[in-house]
Amino acid sequence: MTTMNSTPPRESPLGPQDLDEAAAVLSDLRDRLRAEIADARKTESAVRGDCVLDAADAGATTLAIEELHTRADAATALLERTLAALTRIQDGTFGTCATCGAPIGRERVLAVPHAERCVACTERQSRA
Ligand SMILES: [Zn+2]
């Protein structure tokens, strides 16, 4: 015989609505990042495919490709964090700091849903 306990589990200060909102933002971000990465790759192959006639052009092409790589790398890194956050929503650890295990804080998590750490841990890490 189990007694019904109406107190919800307290791992996360986030309500189901907060999680839905974060999941929607993250899914949207994921789709945008995937499109951006695909676009950067497409642009890169177009740039590479261009006939390079002189050294100045070659330099400009190299620069353009580097820029595309930087953009694609940043998008890929953010995409990984976004996917990890979506996984955390599914396994119920969303909103918890990956370093100290403390709640990240509702406002921060909704503003930056792919945040992995609380403000204190993020600051400590960026100073390290
Ligand atoms: Zn922390």
Residue whose C-alpha is closest to residue 80's, from 88, 92, 69, 68: 88
Fold exhibited by the domain 16-127: Four Helix Bundle (Hemerythrin (Met), subunit A) (1.20.120)
Give residue-wise pLDDT tens across range 8-33: 444 457 889 999 999 999 999 999 99
What does residue 32 show for φ and ψ, rounded to 5 degrees? -65, -40
Q: Which region holds residue 54: left if phi is over 0, alpha if psi is between -120 and 50, else beta?
A: beta
Give residue-wise pLDDT tens across range 24-72: 999 999 999 999 999 999 999 998 887 666 777 888 889 999 999 999 9
What does residue 103 show for φ and ψ, rounded to 5 degrees? -60, 135
Find the 104 Cα to ligand 1 centroid distance in Å: 7
Q: What CA–CA distance (Å, rounded) separates 95 from 104?
A: 5
Q: Which residues surround ligand 1, an ion (CB under 5 A)?
A: 97, 99-100, 118, 121
How would residue 1 be classed by pLDDT, with cut points 50, 70 and 90? low
